[in-house]
Amino acid sequence: MRTRQIGEFSVSSIGLGCMSLSFAYGDVPDTEYGAKLLHEALDTGYTMLDTAALYGNGANETLIGETLKARRNDYMLASKCGISKNEEGVRTINGKPSEIRKVCEESLRLLQTDVIDLYYLHRLDFTIPIEESVGTLSELVTEGKIRSIGLSEMSAETIRRAHAVHPISAVQSEYSLWTRNPEIAVLDTCKDIGAAFVAFSPLARAFLTGTLQDPQSLPDGDLRYGMPRFEPENYQKNLELLEEYANLAEESGCSMAQLALAWLLAKDDHIIPIPGTKNIDHMRENAGADAVTLSEEVIVCLDQLINQKTVHGSRYNAAAQSKIDTEEFA
């Protein structure tokens, strides 16, 4: 794959989101298959792996640490702090300095490494000034435990406040044809401060692959059950968008998944999508999007076909959205 820049790191233009190997989408693959996928991803050309302390409560970091400790120099490692379980075992957003340090030390142990290349604050803790949380991350940079700082799901205003404390190398948020919120302000803010924008769920949680026809068939525990866009009435309306979308993929000589990723890559050179998958064939297919060149006509058609005005249902329900600092369309 071609490369793009995150701070001092040159990484593959498409990174690998590792979450689904341990968390969030129902059944997870066994350790042997997950390890095989990670090794083959590096062999395929992925040089950025994205994980978090949250994913499987350390299981994802453990998988990466055990599997790739002998290949640590082959990839840029990104992980996240800021979402933890409290004493009652309830998942909470926690940006306190003491918690950030505690989680970082545990992540270093599980990942079996001396340093994390890119360390994100996973969510904004509304009870703690962002300057305080980022100040602690800055101390971890000085101490050599992390190399650079990122933010996840935060607004342009918060990003600028954080950047005033310490340079922010990357901002991660959901971005795809059907989730355009970063276009309100965050994409431009990243450009202004020299940060990469890392797009998670670039395939719209499988919607843009064309392989998910009935969200009610998803396994128990799949987080999409709680998302309004995947409710039956909304989803059936959203599926109507895919007929023309599939035609555009065929016209462009690529799969539907590759079309979604190629659209993101064409948007700007500071954007790095990180599709996740539990399937080795899909991982290789996603990497192939780097070789897809879209015509201006196709890009215009895509922008008009699937956007915040044509998609039915909100990204998150009201309770989930209230805990996120990102801008929303009216």
- The 10 Å Cβ neighbour count of residue 214 is 10
C-beta of residue 202 within 8 angstroms of C-beta of residue 261: yes
Q: What is the pLDDT of residue 84?
A: 80
C-beta of residue 80 within 8 angstroms of C-beta of residue 119: yes
Known catalytic residue at 175: no
Q: What is the pLDDT of residue 219?
A: 92
What is the Cα–Cα distance from 224 to 25, expressed in whole angstroms?
A: 8
Q: What is the largest CA-CA distance in the chain?
A: 54
Selecting among 25, 46, 55, 175, the annotated active-site residue is 55
Q: Match 């302390």 to its residue by tokens.
A: 53
Tokens of 254: 């690529």
What is the Cα–Cα distance from 179 to 327, expressed in whole angstroms?
A: 12
C-beta of residue 149 within 8 angstroms of C-beta of residue 134: yes
The series of mean pLDDT values per 10 residues for the chain, 330 residues long, is 97 98 92 98 98 95 98 98 82 95 98 98 98 98 98 98 98 98 98 98 98 94 95 98 98 98 98 98 98 98 98 95 94
Q: What is the pLDDT of residue 88?
A: 79
Closest among 124, 105, 125 to 116, alpha carbons compared? 105
Between strands 3-6 and 9-12, the pairing is: antiparallel
C-beta of residue 177 within 8 angstroms of C-beta of residue 306: yes
Q: What is the pLDDT of residue 87?
A: 73
C-beta of residue 317 within 8 angstroms of C-beta of residue 225: no
Tokens of 313: 């249902």
Q: Helix or strand or coil: residue 300?
A: helix
Structural domains in the chain, sorted by start? 3-204+267-292 (3.20.20.100)
* Edge-to-edge strand list for the sheet holding 16-17: 16-17, 48-50, 76-81, 116-121, 146-152, 168-174, 196-200, 271-273
Q: Helix or strand or coil: residue 74?
A: helix
Phi-psi map region of 7: left, alpha, beta (phi>0 left; psi -120 to 50 alpha): left
Q: Match 């404390």 to its residue by tokens.
A: 165
End-to-end Cα spacing for the chain: 37
Residue 232's Cβ-count burial label (10 Å; 0-12, 13-18, 19+) is exposed
